[in-house]
Amino acid sequence: MSQQNVEIVLGLPLFRPGVDIVELTRNDAVSARMASEISSLFHEDFECVFPDLLGHSKTYRGFSGLRTAWLDWLAPWTSYRIEMERGVDCGDRVLTVYDVFATPAGTAREVKLSGADVWTLCDGKIARWEGYPSRRAALEAMGLPE
């Protein structure tokens, strides 16, 4: 079942090549289509957590909380796309390791950031997404070496 968990997570639209998550999230019509496409992949008690982000932790609840989390996260960006490096099977959890290519508001210059998140699945559905401020923090949370 755990490889299936990796496939579920990596199948999310945000990991599709070339997808601008700003457009996916801010555009109501696009966001509604995405929600109807993927809401069944999420557990009814889904939560999204940003541990120790900018010195504090924030939790969003429910599938609607997922969009709110993205809207909050994407506030300073005019474009934001993810290039997946790998998804790591960790049993009922999946570690995603990726690079982000994003354009800060007020500039035309794209920046590259490295990231990693932890996804927990329960009964074949995504129950929790932990967005870490760095790859190192995500790997430490999983007890994995850098």
> Which residues are CB-neighbours of 125 under 8 A, at least 6 positions away?
8, 40, 41, 42, 43, 46
Question: What mean pLDDT is predicted for residues 41-54?
Answer: 85
The class (CATH top level) of 2-142 is alpha beta
User: Which residue(s) pair with 131 in the sheet?
Assistant: 117
**Which of 117, 130, 134, 132 lies closest to 46, judged by CA?**
130
Q: What secondary structure does DSSP assign to 63-116, as a single string?
A: HHHHHHHHHHHHTTEEEEEEEEEEEEEETTEEEEEEEEEEEETT----EEEEEE
Q: Dihedral, CA atoms, 57, 24, 44, 119, nearest 10 degrees?
A: -50
Boundaries of every domain in the chain: 2-142
Residue 112 has pLDDT above 90, yes or no: yes
Indicate if the pLDDT at residue 1 is higher than 60. no
Average predicted confidence (pLDDT) for the chain: 91
pLDDT band at 50 (very low <50, low <70, confident <90, very high): confident
Closest CA to 113 of 127, 133, 93, 129: 133
Half-sphere exposure of 127 (CA within 13 A, CB side): 9
pLDDT band at 55 (very low <50, low <70, confident <90, very high): low
Q: Is the pLDDT of residue 126 over 80?
A: yes
Q: What does the pLDDT look like over 35-44, one tens digit per residue?
A: 899 999 999 9
